[in-house]
Homo-oligomer: A and B are copies of this chain.
């Protein structure tokens, strides 16, 4: 790191009044996590092998990719006792913090449970929806440096609250490295079985089932490009959550928050990886300068300085806008994963926020609190997908069945309508099936 870099920050400065603002913003936001034909081909091959050879394929791939000298699936399975043991053996401070976070996440998600409903019409016909949990959910947890216990809590607790009968977790352990915090989190979150497998082979095993790994109904959780490609490939055979892009934050500041707090909030996003995105918007030019100075000052004190510098240089920006209204327009255009409304009166603009994964209100709500323990889920729509998708929740582990119970009278009335419409579509067996129930 040169002295020069310690003093200045390599980070885009934009203004909505710039002639090229739109195109520069588009370029900053652009992200397409496409897997090339080669990755797709290798993933297809792995999926076929697991479908055809089951456990044998899992053992072979785990030997090859994770460098584990295993001979049987028994060596790749961890039971409930092992998870509980990991929890008991944690240092007290970590154990308490993890338990506290799990409890808060559980409490929040209890509020999300959809309920069955129905109503009765005048002729006695009953209409409604019955809500039921999935039988079995599969949680993918990345191994190695990105093995996050908080991610286990956030993925498994909603499934548990939903009433899922069995929760299966897979986590690769390259070279045999096992993360005790991850196992402890699995214990707290209600995970039933853990298999120490990963990659496309683990996704295939959960989608189709093997002799040892039970077939699940939905697979959630983040992973590398092979995992994401495999999830996309098995979509339909099982449910999947969104394919996540890099993590992002958009901070909107009214100028009244300590610049060092905001600098650290941006860093907390940027430290994830070099593709992470940290954006700050304000109509206060001086404030933007103060935050930039704080960034320059604090950067050299960061453990992950290199990653943060790279991330800010590639995808970060300090954006000057005209006023609060224009900031709201930017929010809805960007549809950020994380939105921090660092301002005195965030409630005043909340109703105008149409698209955001999670909204952190006021100066005290650091995004990091939401990542761990505030309660809401940290699995959120990225890359503008908050335009059409939601945080992971209990509703992702339940589904609905329509319920229709026609009275004799109701069937007769509805039969007349259905008959006309079915004949209009030339589906005469439909029409006659309805007509059978018309009272003479």
Residue positions of A touching B, CB distance < 8 A: 33, 93-94, 97-98, 100-101, 108, 111-112, 114, 117, 119, 125-130, 132, 134-135, 148-150, 181, 217-218, 232, 235-236, 238-239, 242-243, 258, 260-261, 264-265, 267-268, 270-272, 302-304, 308, 339, 346-347, 350, 353-362, 364-377, 380-381, 383, 385-391, 393, 395, 399-408, 410-411, 414-418, 420-422, 424-434, 436-437
A384 shortest CB reach to chain B, Å = 9
Q: Is the CB of B302 within 8 A of A371?
A: no
A367 shortest CB reach to chain B, Å = 7
A-B pairs with beta carbons under 8 Å apart, 7 shown: A236-B242, A268-B427, A346-B405, A364-B406, A372-B418, A373-B414, A377-B402
Residues of B within 8 A of A114 (CB): 114
- Total copies of this chain within the assembly: 2
A433-B359 CB under 8 A given contacts A302-B428, A427-B271, A428-B302 = no
A374-B127 CB under 8 A given contacts A304-B429, A366-B433, A369-B418 = yes
A97-B421 CB under 8 A given contacts A410-B364, A429-B268 = yes
Residues of B within 8 A of A400 (CB): 390-391, 393
Instruction: Name the contact of A132 in the complex, choosing from B355, B426, B432 (C-beta under 8 A).
Output: B355
A433-B264 CB under 8 A given contacts A359-B402, A401-B358, A420-B94 = yes
Q: Which of A359, A414, A416: most chain B Cβ within 10 A? A: A414
Q: Is the CB of A364 within 8 A of B411?
A: yes
Q: Is the CB of A304 within 8 A of B424?
A: no
A132-B354 CB under 8 A given contacts A149-B424, A304-B428 = yes
A174 shortest CB reach to chain B, Å = 17
Q: Is the CB of B406 within 8 A of A261?
A: no
Q: Is the CB of B403 within 8 A of A367?
A: no
A195 shortest CB reach to chain B, Å = 20
A267 shortest CB reach to chain B, Å = 4
Q: A125-B374, A265-B433, A374-B406 are in contact. List 17 more A-B contacts (CB 8 A).
A: A33-B236, A97-B421, A127-B375, A129-B376, A130-B359, A150-B425, A181-B424, A236-B385, A268-B430, A356-B401, A364-B410, A365-B404, A366-B411, A366-B436, A369-B404, A376-B403, A395-B395
Instruction: Name the contact of A260 in the complex, choosing from B217, B264, B393, B436 (C-beta under 8 A).
Output: B436
**Interface SS, A side:** mixed
A254 shortest CB reach to chain B, Å = 15
| Smallest Cβ-Cβ distance to A242: which chain B residue | B236
A95 shortest CB reach to chain B, Å = 10
Q: Which of A94, A127, A355, A399: most chain B Cβ within 10 A? A: A399
Residues of B within 8 A of A424 (CB): 94, 97, 149, 181
Q: How far is the CA of A391 from the CA of B131 in the complex (A)?
A: 11
Q: How far is the CA of A93 from the CA of B395 in the complex (A)?
A: 41
Q: Is the CB of A411 within 8 A of B369?
A: yes
Q: How far is the CA of A279 from the CA of B56 in the complex (A)?
A: 36
Q: How far is the CA of A429 from the CA of B372 in the complex (A)?
A: 13
Q: Is the CB of A401 within 8 A of B357?
A: yes
Instruction: Name the contact of A357 in the complex, choosing from B270, B402, B432 (C-beta under 8 A).
Output: B402
Residues of B within 8 A of A388 (CB): 134, 217-218, 238-239, 399
Q: Is the CB of A405 within 8 A of B362?
A: yes
Q: Is the CB of A420 within 8 A of B359?
A: no
A267-B402 CB under 8 A given contacts A372-B422, A422-B371 = no
Residues of B within 8 A of A420 (CB): 93-94, 97
Q: Is the CB of B350 within 8 A of A130?
A: yes
Q: Is the CB of B430 within 8 A of A371?
A: yes
Instruction: Name the contact of A129 in the complex, choosing from B112, B181, B406 (C-beta under 8 A).
Output: B112
Instruction: Name the contact of A417 in the complex, choosing from B97, B181, B270, B428 (C-beta under 8 A).
Output: B97
